[in-house]
Amino acid sequence: MMGANGGRRRRGGPPQPLPGGGPGGPSGPKGPDDFDDDDDEPRRRTGWRRFVPSWKIVVAGVTVVVAGVFGMIAIAYANTPVPDKNDAQAEALAQGSTIYYSDGKTPIAHLGTKRIIVDISKIPEVFQDAVIAIENDTFREDSGISIPAMFRSVWMTATGQQLQGASTITQQMARNYYDGLSQDVSVKRKVMEIFVAVKINKTMEKNEILEQYLNTINFGRAYGIEAATQAYFGKRMTAAKLTPDQAAYLAARIQTPSWSPDAPGLQARFKDVLNAMARLNPEKYGTLPQTAKFPKTVKDPNLDQMTGLRGYMVSVVMHELSERGLKEEEVQSGGYKIVSTFDQRLMKTAQKVVKNVMSSVPNNREVHASLAAVDPTNGRVIAFYGGDDYTKDNWNEPFDSAKQAASAFKPYVLAAWLDAGYSLNSWLPGNETVPKVIPGQAANGFKNDHGGPAAVNAITATSASVNTAYVSMAYKLDQDAGKIGELDPVKQIVLDAGFSEDRMTKDIDEHHYQFSIGSAPVTAVEQAAGYSIFANAGKHVNYHVVKGVYLGKTLKLPERKPVKQVISPEASADAVVALEEVLKSGTAGGQGIGRPAGGKTGTNNEEKEAWFVGFTPQVSTAVGMYREECRTKSGKVVPPVNARCPYWKGKSPEKGDPKFTMTNPYSTPFEVSLGFAGASFPTRIWREFMLEAHKNKPVAQFPPKAGVGAPQDIVPSPTPTPKPEDEIVEEPTLPWEDDGGQGPGESECFPGAPECEVDIPDGGAEVPFEDPFSSPATPAKQSSTQASQGRRP
């Protein structure tokens, strides 16, 4: 249909005006289109609003995320196991070990982690309060975590603003104590730490948590409150004795472990602790900030663990423990109490005596001295001198320096002789050349430099140190064994007496019968322990330095002291008779100590090494000395530095010539003559030490002479006087000449010879040698029967 104006009308007829105008009306807006289906759609957004999600979507999304997070947290919390003490980190329980003197009470050194686990009852309340006040004042009431501090810590760590630590004592303990909670700073670790802290708080008493915390935290010098107390306030101090000032000081160190003991920042932290304590309990600590004083601390004991004599003692103890299967790592973390054999007084005495005597030794900067003292009844090393400061020179002389024993080795030949059934009354070559058939020697064998009787008994051979007699004894024993040149009987004695088999075997192979007069290298501690077969009725216990290792009150490693009967008690008793004579009228005559004692001097070629080894029934002591010059490659002699030849050129390695190194040293040591024999300074050191070692000890007697064995006559028949027409060819002398009383290289000491006068370095009387068996009518050589009847030792 067409309207009046000729236009097409919309379906439904013409629009009808509404009263007053309105939609569809002439004066109102156009009404809705009958065909418009978008009445309920929101108005389209334009511009940036198109990218902003609807608030309904945001709320829904956040709800889902929060629910998911809490769900994940709930699941993670539920799956977090409750830790127990078996889950503790090894480091949290690690305790260093302490080495003690023989009394088991006086510490020598502490090794490894400085920690001593103590019960909460041994930790005073004042220290507990100090820690709680400054670290976590809500500890007694909180749930193990602090919500404000927790969110601050997680947020700041996640955003990288600051690396925050755990905030509560429980959280700190969880991180330090339990395995699985690493020290890494991360959100994952912190969340795990929170879960563990909450669960710990539900399963453990507050005192248990505090006890574990105070036993694990780092105070700088030590871990745990007990060890820290000793580290800062002295070895004899305990946590139970802490004053409020000291308690506040240690509490301040928890957040400042690396600071120096009197750092300004630490003093400020100390004041913070005092103020916190006053706030925590005004009634109890209200006046503390005004009255407390910053406490004085002791020198860091960790710096002295290896200085002075300590280092030498620690090194030999650790060596023995390692040999017995207790490795260094175990010692440093096992919390052991290690009781050594060392007597504190005698260790100091040994150092004092050696330094006192050395002050009068010529060229003493180049002279090295060692001393070792052993209890012959059990093998314990009771004292030694190896040097003055281990940190400057770690060469431990009595344990590390193996030097030729010279005539101080002869008593072992005497022991073999007597134990084989021969008598002290046997006749031995005194001025004769030992038979030429002895293998491994120069054409003329062994002979003595100075005149003397053609025959001597075993006592004179020992007190005058007659080389020809001792070589002949060793040769006779080999003849009996049917093994010439192997020295098996003597070798077996020295091996049973604790000497190195490798060194003994090598020396026999190289030197043959020189072995019998001391060519073998030995250490002072071996000699001190070896002479126990004379001091202890033929029995020997290997030397050792550890009495026992304890874990708590449990003995974990017992003392090593198996006893071996090396020679018969009778052979030992007779050997003592000969060795006593050395100190009465022999090469060390006049050097006795006012009680029964025996010993032997020894000096090698050119007096490069000198010894005295002596004993009583209670103590066996060896003293050895040698001299080294430091020479450059051009032969220039330079002074040693800290008892060592300098490997650099200059005053210090830093200022020295860089071309010189440890492998290309500026100087190297060369042994040179001491200028004195074993009867001189070594005997003097031995005597002074033994006098001190026997103070307040009862006088002990040796067993009486047994007088066992059959006398033997092994003196060669006199050589016929050559006829005038016989050609006499002078035989060459050996490079190893007779020691004449001390060992190879010294002149012999026979009655009437000027060498028999003993030089006493400290000004004592000179004691001429007297042969106790001589008589005006005694022939140079007698039969065995005459020897046993007419010249009884």
How large a percentage of the chain has pLDDT more than 70?
A: 73
HSE toward the beta carbon, residue 358, CA cutoff 13 A: 22
The string of pLDDT tens digits covering residues 585-600 is 999 999 999 999 999 9
More confident residue, 576 or 769: 576
- 499 in Cβ contact with 573 (< 8 Å): no
The pTM assigned to this predicted structure is 0.71
Is the pLDDT at 670 greater than 70, yes or no?
yes
More confident residue, 206 or 414: 414
- 167 in Cβ contact with 135 (< 8 Å): no
Q: What is the mean pLDDT of residues 384-400?
A: 94
How large a percentage of the chain has pLDDT more than 90?
A: 53
The string of pLDDT tens digits covering residues 91-134 is 656 788 999 999 999 999 988 878 888 999 999 999 999 999 99
Lowest mean pLDDT among 434-448, 456-470, 520-534: 434-448
More confident residue, 503 or 717: 503
What amino acid is encoded at 426 in this protein? S
Q: What is the pLDDT of residue 241?
A: 96
Is the pLDDT at 25 greater than 50, yes or no?
no
The CB density around residue 494, as the number of other CB atoms within 10 Å, is 27
For the ranges 32-46, 249-263, 264-278, the one whose mean pLDDT is highest: 264-278
Rounded Cα gap, residues 282 and 758, in angstroms: 81
Q: What is the pLDDT of residue 54?
A: 72
The string of pLDDT tens digits covering residues 541-564 is 999 999 999 998 999 999 998 999
Sign of CA dihedral 633, 634, 637, 638: negative
Q: How far, CA to CA in Å, does 127 sit from each of 135, 171, 226, 285, 371?
A: 12, 19, 11, 12, 48
- 518 in Cβ contact with 604 (< 8 Å): yes
The phi, psi pair for 354, rounded to 5°, reads -60, -45
- 230 in Cβ contact with 95 (< 8 Å): no
The string of pLDDT tens digits covering residues 369-379 is 999 999 999 99
Q: What is the pLDDT of residue 172?
A: 82
Rounded Cα gap, residues 509 and 491, in angstroms: 12
Q: What is the pLDDT of residue 654?
A: 73
Q: What is the mean pLDDT of residues 614-638?
A: 95
Is the pLDDT at 177 greater than 90, yes or no?
no
Q: What is the DSSP string of 214-272?
A: HHHSB-SS-BSHHHHHHHHH-TT--GGG--HHHHHHHHHHTT-TTS-TT-HHHHHHHHH
Structure tokens at 264: 């300004």
Q: What is the pLDDT of residue 730?
A: 41
Q: What is the pLDDT of residue 748?
A: 41
Q: What is the pLDDT of residue 793?
A: 29
Q: What is the pLDDT of residue 447?
A: 54
Q: What is the pLDDT of residue 70?
A: 56
299 pLDDT tier (thresholds 50, 70, 90): confident
Q: What is the pLDDT of residue 575?
A: 99
Element (H, E) at 67: helix 55-79
**672 bridge partner residues:** 627
Q: Which of 253, 245, 233 is nearest to 274 (CA)?
A: 245
384 pLDDT tier (thresholds 50, 70, 90): very high
Q: Among all chains, which residue has been given the structure tokens 């080389």?
A: 467
Q: What is the pLDDT of residue 321?
A: 96
Q: What is the mean pLDDT of residues 252-276?
A: 91
Q: What is the DSSP string of 695-711?
A: TTPPP-PPPPP---SB-
Q: Which of 444, 458, 439 is nearest to 513 (CA)?
A: 439
The string of pLDDT tens digits covering residues 493-539 is 999 999 999 999 999 999 999 999 999 999 999 999 999 999 999 99
Is the pLDDT at 773 greater than 50, yes or no?
no
Q: What is the mean pLDDT of residues 1-17?
A: 45
The phi, psi pair for 506, rounded to 5°, reads -60, -40
Is the pLDDT at 432 greater than 50, yes or no?
yes
